[in-house]
Amino acid sequence: MIMACIQSFVVILPYYSKYQGTRDFAKEQMAIREKAFSIITEVFKRHGATALDTPAFELRETLMGKYGEDSKLIYDLADQGGELCSLRYDLTVPFARYVAMNGLTSFRRYQIAKVYRRDNPSKGRYREFYQCDFDIAGQYEEMGPDFEIIKILTELLDELDIGDYEVKLNHRKLLDGMLEICGVPPEKFRSICSSIDKLDKQTFEQVKKEMVEEKGLNSETADRIGSFVKERGPPKELLSRLKQKGSSFLDNASSKCALDDLEILFEALQNSKCINKVVFDLSLARGLDYYTGVIFEAVGTMQVGSIAAGGRYDNLIGMFGTKQVPAVGVSLGIERVFTMMEQLQKDRNQTARPTETQVLLSILGDKRKLCLAAELVSELWNARLKAEYVVSTRFSKHIDRARESRIPWMVLVGDKEMEKGIVKIKNIETTIEEEVPRTMFVEELRQRLNP
C-alpha cells in the first residue's frame, strides 16, 4: 500500500558523496565514541568543571591573529550579508572570548565539540574532528592549575586504556631564555621555535639547515641551540642539572622564572604520583602563538603522533576584553584515541552492540496485526523497557532479527497464544521458552532484565 502511494516521479541523480576530509559515524563506531566521551566527561566533572557550549562559528575577527602560521587553515563562511564569520579552529579561543565577554575572573570548563581546519585531508588528517578540552582560567595557587591540568591529562589517558604514553613538557619562557642565550634576535623567536618543533619528525641536521638557510641564523648559533634541545629526561633530574651553579639559564630573567615555575610544578606532580609519566624535553616548542608558560604534549609510545597537548596562555583572554585573566588548558585529540580504541577492540575480538534493545516483540501474523503489536509493544515502552517489534507470518524473520541485533529476549505472540490469553517469553541464549499470562508479561520480563 505504501509503495502504491509513492509518487511515480523519482529523480535519479548521480551517486552522491560527502565532502572529503569529513566522516560519518554510526553503529559500532558510535558506540566506541559514546564510551570514550562518557569516560572523558567523568574525568572532567571529577575536577569541578562545568560544560560550556559555544557556537561552531565565531566572528572572523575573533579568530584572527591567534594561530600564527596555521591561520591559513581557518574556514570562512561565505559573505551572504551581515558580519563575517569563520568556523572555530580550536576550543581555546572561543573559551577565551566567552570568559572576556562575560567579565569572568575565574572559570573552569570542559567542552567536547568539533573543530574545523582546511588542512590537506590526504595526510590522514580530517577537516572536521572532535576535541575534548579542559581549561582553568583565573588566579589560583601558583602553578596549581598547571599541576591539575597535567594530572587530568594522565587520568584521561590512563582511564581510556589506550596503551603506554609519555607527556613531554617544556616552558615557553625557558625556550625564550635559551634562544636569547644562544644569541637569536627576539623577532626570530617564534619562527625559530616552529623549526625546533619539527625535531620530533626531523633530524637536527635537517632542522639546522632550515634555521640557517631559510631563517638566517648563523651556524654557531644553530649549533648552540642544538646542544640545548637534545636535553630530555626525568623532570626533577634534568631540572637540577639545568639549575647547577654556573648554568647560563640562571643569569637569564626569562629562563630563571621558568625554572622556578617548574620546580613548584614537579614537586606537585611527584606528590600526585604522576611524575613518572612526564618527560622534561627542551626540544618541545608547540606552534600556537598564544602560549606563555608551561607547554606539553602527550604521545603514545607505541603509536606515532600527538594524542593531547596544551599549556599556559596568560594573555589570550585579555585580548578580548580589558581584564587580564591567566589560564591554562589541555586539549585531547580524540580522533587518535578512537582509532586506538577501535584497534584494541579488534585485537581483543570484542564488538560493541550497536543498539541496546532488550526485547523483540514477535507478532506471528499478517500486517493486520499492527494494532496488536502497537498495544503490546507500547506496554513495554511505557514500562521503560527497550523494545522493537516485528509483524510477520514467517518465524525465521523474527529469529533472524533477534540474532542479528543480539537482542536477548523475545516475546512470541501468535493466534494460539492470544486465544489462551498468554504470550511466550524466549531467552535467545538459552533458547528456553516460557508461557506467561498476557496480563503479566511486562512484569515478568522486567524481573528477568533487572533481577
**Residues in 370-399 at the binding interface with its own copies, rule: CB under 8 A:** 370-375, 377-378, 381-382, 384-391
Does position 261 bind its own copies by CB under 8 A?
yes
Does position 414 bind its own copies by CB under 8 A?
no
Part of the chain binding its own copies (CB under 8 A), chosen from 184-192, 222-230, 270-278, 434-442: 270-278
Task: Calculate the alpha carbon distances from 391 to 169, 361, 411, 444 in Å.
Answer: 61, 8, 12, 22
State in angstroms the smallest separation of the CB of 196 from its own copies: 19
Does position 114 bind its own copies by CB under 8 A?
yes
To the question of whether residue 117 is assigned a binding role by annotation, the answer is: yes
State in angstroms the smallest separation of the CB of 106 from its own copies: 10
Strand boundaries in 282-386, DSSP class E: 294-300, 306-312, 327-333, 359-364
State in angstroms the smallest separation of the CB of 191 from its own copies: 17
For Cα atoms 135, 139, 141, give the angle at the middle one, nearest 5 degrees.
95
State in angstroms the smallest separation of the CB of 90 from its own copies: 15
Q: Using CA atoms, how far apart are residues 48 and 268, in angstroms rounded to an integer?
A: 19
Does position 25 bind its own copies by CB under 8 A?
yes
Part of the chain binding its own copies (CB under 8 A), chosen from 237-245, 264-272, 276-284, 428-436: 264-272
To the question of whether residue 290 is assigned a binding role by annotation, the answer is: yes
State in angstroms the smallest separation of the CB of 429 from its own copies: 19
> Scanning residues 278 to 307, which ones bind its own copies (CB under 8 A)?
292-293
CB 128 within 8 A of CB 22: yes
Please provide the distance, in angstroms rounded to a whole number, between the alpha carbons at the two ends of the chain. 43
State in angstroms the smallest separation of the CB of 7 from its own copies: 6
Instruction: Look at residues 383, 413, 381, 380 and name the one whose alpha carbon lies nearest to residue 398.
Output: 413
**Pick 198 or 256: Cβ nearer its own copies:** 256
State which of residues 105, 324, 343, 393 lies at the interface with its own copies (CB under 8 A). 324
User: Helix, strand or coil for residue 438?
Assistant: helix
Instruction: Look at residues 3, 134, 117, 11 and name the one whose alpha carbon lies nearest to residue 63.
Output: 117
Part of the chain binding its own copies (CB under 8 A), chosen from 72-80, 211-219, 236-244, 334-342: 72-80
User: Pattern of binders to its own copies over 27-66, x per CB under 8 A?
Assistant: x--xx-xx----------xxxxxxxxxxxxxxx-xx----
DSSP string, 378-411: HHHHHTT--EEEEEES-HHHHHHHHHHTT-SEEE
To the question of whether residue 291 is assigned a binding role by annotation, the answer is: yes
To the question of whether residue 91 is assigned a binding role by annotation, the answer is: yes
CA torsion 55-57-60-65 (nearest 10°) is 80
To the question of whether residue 286 is assigned a binding role by annotation, the answer is: yes
Helix axes of 144-160 and 253-271: crossing angle, nearest 10 degrees: 50
* Exposure string over 420-429, b if 16+ CB within 10 A, otherwise e: eebbbbbeee
Applying CB under 8 A, the site for its own copies has a residue count of 122
State in angstroms the smallest separation of the CB of 224 from its own copies: 24
Does position 400 bind its own copies by CB under 8 A?
no
Cell of 239: 631540572
User: Helix, strand or coil for residue 150?
Assistant: helix
- Those residues with Cβ within 8 angstroms of residue 26's Cβ, 6 or more apart along the chain or in another chain: 354
> Scanning residues 200 to 259, which ones bind its own copies (CB under 8 A)?
257-258
Does position 22 bind its own copies by CB under 8 A?
yes
> Count of residues for the chain?
451
- Those residues with Cβ within 8 angstroms of residue 333's Cβ, 6 or more apart along the chain or in another chain: 129, 131, 306, 307, 308, 309
Q: Using CA atoms, how far apart are residues 188 and 217, in angstroms rounded to an integer?
A: 9
To the question of whether residue 79 is assigned a binding role by annotation, the answer is: no
User: Helix, strand or coil for residue 65?
Assistant: coil
User: Pattern of binders to its own copies over 349-368, x per CB under 8 A?
Assistant: -----xxxx---------x-
Does position 319 bind its own copies by CB under 8 A?
yes
**Pick 109 or 426: Cβ nearer its own copies:** 109
**Pick 204 or 389: Cβ nearer its own copies:** 389
> Scanning residues 160 to 189, which ones bind its own copies (CB under 8 A)?
173
The annotation places the binding site for L-histidine at: 90-92, 117, 131, 135, 286, 290-291
Question: Which segments are annotated as binding site?
Answer: 90-92, 117, 131, 135, 286, 290-291
